């Protein structure tokens, strides 16, 4: 089938809109990309219309995920070995609405940019919607599961639970969780996150998923970790009590390292241990517990070294104490933005 130039342009625009929709919910979506998205959205009403149509399709897919009986009118075809999403045809009666919505979206681009700056980097609206349990900024939540196991969710975290006759599986969408596993010989307990499968061989362990990395820390007994991949060696690695395994998506498993459990598990008492680590690392961690964003006027400030024990239930006090200790200046840009500088 040969597409006309107009049809090819429409398909390309649809694909661009879908790509932006995917990027908007990615863990590593940057502020520069947000500016680029706002510019793309404002370039032409057709861009806003395509993005609106992609959102409509996306909403139908989400509803179908929650309700298998839902009817999805979108179809997926393969043309030239590339997936093309065909959007449902628009009725002529909807055109005035589309034009109004396109103008609204264009004007809302700046507002969306502001919202993304205010909200934590770890905000994941779709994952929250699809998950069984999730926490908000600064929230620590304990959950008793149906098998008697206990789950402790740290701030900005989400999990889904899938228990059946053969396995008890938890999917960690993002964030950090501690698992205290009830014994059940017939049904192994495992946690899946970003391609890593962690099977309990004992009682207590935690899994932490952040951008591009998953870490597993064992507090009691042991776990077996393996990779769910066709390209990576599927061999299993055992992580013993007092050890931590770090895994990057698509990579082979590495050897676990010994850690100080009193420091790695401090979040469970709403404490944060930092031992001679860069300021940028502290700010990234602190950002999980406060609404808003902290910016550094000079990239070199990220490398300032920090040591201390901080209370995570009072993140603003932590920020102030670090500013004073490092002899920095703090400028507040409204209620949520903070700029640190000399």
Q: Profile the chain (342 residues) by mean pLDDT over runs of 10 residues.
A: 62 78 68 71 74 64 45 40 45 51 54 52 65 93 97 96 97 96 96 96 95 94 88 79 94 93 94 93 91 85 93 92 93 80 90
- How far is CA 124 from each of CA 25, 53, 174, rounded to the nearest angstrom? 7, 21, 8
In this prediction, residue 39 carries a pLDDT of: 72
In this prediction, residue 19 carries a pLDDT of: 79
In this prediction, residue 70 carries a pLDDT of: 40
In this prediction, residue 184 carries a pLDDT of: 95
Please count the residues of the chain. Answer: 342
Give alpha helix (H) positions in 187-328: 261-264, 279-286, 315-325
Helix, strand, coil in percent for the chain, rounding step 5: 35, 30, 35
Spell out the domain ranges in the chain.
5-118, 125-263, 270-341
In this prediction, residue 71 carries a pLDDT of: 41
Give me the CATH topology for the region 125-263: Jelly Rolls (2.60.120)
pTM, whole model, 2 decimals?
0.67
Task: Look at residue 162 and give its three-state secondary structure.
Answer: strand
Same fold, 125-263 and 270-341: no
Token look-up 């999805």 returns 72
Contact in structure between 45 and 39 (CB atoms under 8 Å): no
In this prediction, residue 123 carries a pLDDT of: 58
Distance CA 94, CA 99 (A): 9
Distance CA 64, CA 243 (A): 41
In this prediction, residue 105 carries a pLDDT of: 56
In this prediction, residue 80 carries a pLDDT of: 46
Distance CA 162, CA 144 (A): 14
In this prediction, residue 318 carries a pLDDT of: 93
CATH 3.55.50.30 fits 270-341, yes or no: yes
Neighbouring C-beta atoms of residue 334, cutoff 10 Å: 10
Reported in sequence order, the residue ranges of 195-242 that DSSP labels E, i.e. its strands, are 196-200, 204-210, 213-218, 222-227, 237-240
């Amino acid at each position: 089938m040969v597409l006309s130039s107009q049809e090819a342009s429409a398909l390309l625009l649809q694909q661009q809109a879908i790509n932006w929709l995917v990027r908007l919910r990615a863990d590593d979506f940057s502020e520069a990309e947000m500016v680029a998205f706002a510019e793309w959205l404002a370039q032409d009403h057709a861009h806003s219309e395509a993005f609106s149509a992609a959102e409509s399709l996306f909403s139908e897919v989400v509803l179908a995920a929650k309700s298998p009986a839902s009817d999805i009118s979108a179809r997926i075809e393969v043309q030239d070995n590339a997936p093309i999403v065909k959007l449902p045809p628009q009725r002529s009666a909807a055109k005035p609405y589309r034009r109004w919505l396109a103008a609204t979206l264009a004007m809302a681009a700046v507002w969306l940019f502001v919202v993304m700056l205010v909200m934590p980097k770890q905000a994941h609206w779709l994952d929250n919607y699809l998950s069984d349990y999730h926490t908000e900024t600064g929230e620590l939540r304990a959950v008793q599961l149906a098998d008697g196991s206990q789950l402790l969710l740290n701030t900005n975290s989400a999990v889904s639970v899938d228990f059946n006759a053969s396995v008890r599986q938890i999917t960690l969408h993002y964030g950090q969780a501690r698992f205290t596993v009830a014994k059940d010989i017939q049904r192994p307990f495992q946690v899946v996150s970003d391609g890593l499968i962690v099977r309990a061989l004992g009682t207590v362990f935690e899994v932490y998923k952040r951008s591009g990395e998953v870490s597993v820390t064992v507090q009691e007994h042991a776990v077996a970790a393996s990779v769910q991949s066709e390209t990576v060696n599927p061999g299993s690695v055992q992580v013993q009590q007092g050890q931590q395994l770090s895994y990057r998506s698509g990579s082979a498993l590495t050897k676990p390292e010994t850690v100080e459990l009193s420091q790695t598990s401090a979040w469970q008492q709403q404490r944060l241990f930092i031992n001679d680590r860069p300021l940028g690392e502290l700010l990234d961690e602190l950002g999980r517990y406060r609404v808003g964003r902290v910016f550094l006027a000079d990239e070199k400030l990220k490398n300032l070294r920090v040591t201390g024990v901080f209370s995570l239930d009072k993140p603003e006090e932590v920020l102030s104490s670090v500013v004073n200790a490092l002899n920095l200046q703090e400028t507040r840009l409204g209620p949520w933005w903070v700029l640190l500088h000399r």
